[in-house]
Amino acid sequence: MAEVKTVLALEAVDRIYQQAGKDLPILRGADFALHAGEFVALVGPSGAGKSTLLHLAGLLERPTSGTVRVGGADCGRLPDAERTRLRREEIGFVYQFHHLLPEFSALENVVLPQLLAGKPKRQALARARELLDLVGLSERETHRPSKLSGGEQQRVAIVRAVANNPTILLADEPTGNLDPGTAEQVFAQLEGLLDATGQAALVATHNMELARSMDRAVTLEDGKIVPIEL
């Protein structure tokens, strides 16, 4: 039986903020592992710590204590420059709002992060067109974000996040701004894209129907990450 590769791990992670001079603990001894190719839902009410967890997993913050590992590397021991490199090469982000650059077309928005990563323009264009085709946007590649629907904007944001072939995709309410029908369509596109690329994903969502379609689900209880049945 093939060994399952762990691409992201949180080990005994605490995250404590300071508020009005007092400690505000969000995560307390949290443990979590994301395996290659997994599609995991992170559910829970607003304020439970989902965004904090994604920020730690994405190396945007450091834990107060404990260990965050990406690809086996203890990221707490790495200098900022190495954390930035890991974040650029190994992690893709999708947010509730698409954050596309308004002056660029859909194609250019997907090409740009590849150029910044050093990929030749011809390869970047080919990759962008391949990804846009996978989510049904080949005929919209020359359109700027203002000329795209909300669902189309979010699909471009998703393919932009995976353009550099990261190992891990982190998504924070990626369909939260969409109506239910569009959200379902965009989510199906995301699922198909992950199946095609083999990337692992941790997706924060309030949508229980979407969460039920993923491989498994976890939530936050008293600062710990626990599995749940949906």
Question: Sheet harboring 224-228: ordered strands across?
Answer: 91-94, 168-172, 200-204, 39-43, 216-221, 224-228
pLDDT digits (tens, 9 = 90+) for 183-228: 787 788 778 878 877 889 999 988 888 888 888 999 998 889 999 8
Per-residue pLDDT, 17: 87
Domains with residue ranges and CATH for the chain:
6-228 (3.40.50.300)
The pTM score is 0.86
pLDDT digits (tens, 9 = 90+) for 2-45: 567 889 999 999 998 888 888 888 889 999 999 988 999 999 87
Per-residue pLDDT, 1: 47
